[in-house]
Amino acid sequence: MKAGSRIAGRADFIVGVLFCAVLLLCGCAVGPDFKRPDSPAVQAYLPDPLPPNTESAPVVGGDPQRFVARMDIPAQWWTLFQSPTLDALIQQALKNNPSVQGAQAALRTANENYYAQRGALLPAAQVGYSFERQRNATGTLAPTLSSGDSIFNLHTAQVSVSYVLDVFGGTRRQTESLQSLAESQQYQLEATYLTLASNVIATAIEAAAARAQLAATQDIVQSEREALQILRRQYEIGSIAMTDVMAQEAALATTEATVPALKKQLEQSRHALAALAGRFPSEPLDEHFELGSLHLPEDLPITVPAELVRQRPDVLAAEAQLHSATAQVGVAMANMLPQITLTGNEGGAATQFGQLFAAGNTFWAGGASLTQTLFSGGALLHKERAARAELDQAGAQYRSAVLTAFQNVADTLTALQLDAQALSASLRAEQAAKESLLTVRHNVELGSVGYLALLNAQQTYQQAVLNLAQAQANRYSDTAALFQALGGGWWNRQSRTP
């Protein structure tokens, strides 16, 4: 027992010495230190100042929206549309969508790789035991045992401790790189959450727009059927030619042909919503979206441009990738420098298990080794150059992500203003086309105008109705796109999942 205690004590001493070496050497690391890129020195997203609010129109989705500087974004920003049905569907998607599950698994993988690499910063200790049954050639070789026995059992037990001194910080740089990759994966998960929620909203709006266009088209079909009946009566009394009736029949058939296309669009939107929620298209989807059931948020956040790069998860992920690439340069440089390894072991050997640690049966050894690559065909040099090239690539990708982020915000701000104007114009066009159609139909009944005027009025009104529904949908889509472009407010979430 005392011998075992001596073994353990010496092993603890070796571990302690190596751990102190770790502490002494932890302040040195070759390669460039990462510095977070400065925020872009721009003051606005667009060349011209934003107006206080957008244009309005007295129709669903036509409320004016105010641009509010420095307005914070809630974590569950989609609740601003005030649709419990939409909220529930997004929660289902965030829970069941395979893309989220894949991103979560990728994050776990990145974290575990980081934890595994972090263990290389500490000494490695191993305990071993071996048993052999041997017969020694005593007639040829010197006796293995002092007793001269040719057949014996040999028990060997030992504790081995080793540590590769991280003199130049290669191990720490590799740990730093993997930690940055884990951070990048965390931001990519946030980007997955944001993209998924935005896709659900966009698809729900598409379904609502298709439903509105389908309802309007069906009303137009009914109106054209009534017009056809009027023309047939006029033909029967001889006030118009049969060609006018046939032209109206052709117009009615053309309008009816658009109904299946709108139904297809609506069904495909339903299929897409089911897939986003992690369901099969054959499963029932009770969610029913109409433009009138969605509230258009009145206040729109405008993040300070310098803060945008601290909010967008894709930009932060690119920044973490840049950090990892910076650390990899240090890894490549450290691989070109000497590698120092400390080793120590202590144990015992005996022909009987109970005598392993008896006096005279114990052994120990300690040492250090230094290895320096003198020639490798230029491999280490080229690996270091490759690491620097990858750093340049990561820097370019980061700058591209920043430019894309600012472009997204600029695009949505422009769309918010112009689509509000387009909705107002579309409403005026729809009202004018409706009045014109009613007037022309009345005049056709009186026989004061020809059929061609009715056909033109019908076509104009049909297109105006479809344009109005699409313009209404654009207001909602633009609003969701702005929240996505600004990062979605993930930083205000208390838990790791939405």
Q: For residue 243, what are its two tokens?
A: 């060609």
Q: By the 8 A CB rule, do 376 and 331 touch?
A: no
Full 3-state SS string of the chain: CHHHHHHHHHHHHHHHHHHHHHHHHCCCCCCCCCCCCCCCCCCCCCCCCCCCECCCCCCCCCCCCEEEECCCCCCCHHHHHCCHHHHHHHHHHHHHCHHHHHHHHHHHHHHHHHHHHHHHHCCEEEEEEEEEEEECCCCCCCCCCCCCCCEEEEEEEEEEEEEEECCCCHHHHHHHHHHHHHHHHHHHHHHHHHHHHHHHHHHHHHHHHHHHHHHHHHHHHHHHHHHHHHHHHHHHCCCCCHHHHHHHHHHHHHHHHHHHHHHHHHHHHHHHHHHHCCCCCCCCCCCCCCHHHCCCCCEEEECCHHHHCCCCHHHHHHHHHHHHHHHHHHHHHHCCCCEEEEEEEEEEEECCHHHCCCCCCEEEEEEEEEECCCCCCCHHHHHHHHHHHHHHHHHHHHHHHHHHHHHHHHHHHHHHHHHHHHHHHHHHHHHHHHHHHHHHHHHHHHCCCCHHHHHHHHHHHHHHHHHHHHHHHHHHHHHHHHHHHCCCCHHHCCCCCC
Task: Please give the mean pLDDT across all residues of the chain.
Answer: 89
Query: What amino acid occupies position 220?
Result: I
* pLDDT single digits (tens) 302-318: 999 999 999 999 999 99
Total Cβ atoms within 10 A of residue 271? 16
Lowest mean pLDDT among 95-109, 244-258, 436-450: 436-450
Helices 451-485 & 170-236, crossing angle to 10 degrees?
160
Q: Is the pLDDT of residue 163 over 80?
A: yes
- How sure is the predictor about 5, in pLDDT bands with cuts at 50, 70 and 90? very low
- How sure is the predictor about 265, in pLDDT bands with cuts at 50, 70 and 90? very high
- What is the pTM for the complete model shown? 0.86
Lowest mean pLDDT among 126-135, 244-253, 369-378: 244-253
* pLDDT single digits (tens) 26-57: 557 899 999 999 999 999 999 999 999 999 99
Q: By the 8 A CB rule, do 53 and 65 touch?
A: yes
List all residues 6 or more positions away from 320 whose beta carbon is below 8 Å from its beta carbon. Answer: 180, 181, 183, 184, 187
List all residues 6 or more positions away from 458 whose beta carbon is below 8 Å from its beta carbon. Answer: 220, 223, 224, 227, 251, 255, 437
Q: Rounded CA gap, 217 and 82, in Å?
A: 28
Residue with the larger pLDDT of the pair 283 and 95: 95
What is the average pLDDT across 263-283? Answer: 93
Q: Which of 115-124, 135-144, 159-168, 177-186 has the highest mean pLDDT?
A: 177-186
Look at residue 353 in the predicted model and tell me its pLDDT. Answer: 87
Residue with the larger pLDDT of the pair 28 and 360: 360
Domains of the chain, by residue range, sit at 37-122+168-338+379-492
Total Cβ atoms within 10 A of residue 151? 10
Q: Is the pLDDT of residue 296 over 90?
A: yes
Look at residue 23 in the predicted model and tell me its pLDDT. Answer: 43
Look at residue 141 in the predicted model and tell me its pLDDT. Answer: 66
Q: By the 8 A CB rule, do 6 and 358 touch?
A: no
* pLDDT single digits (tens) 75-122: 999 999 999 999 999 999 999 999 999 999 999 999 999 999 999 989
Look at residue 143 in the predicted model and tell me its pLDDT. Answer: 67
Q: Does domain 37-122+168-338+379-492 have CATH number 1.20.1600.10?
A: yes
Q: Is the pLDDT of residue 64 over 80?
A: yes
Look at residue 2 in the predicted model and tell me its pLDDT. Answer: 46
Q: What are the two backbone dihedrals, phi and then psi, of residue 296, each rounded to the nearest 5 degrees?
A: -85, 115
* pLDDT single digits (tens) 121-148: 899 999 999 999 888 777 676 667 777 7
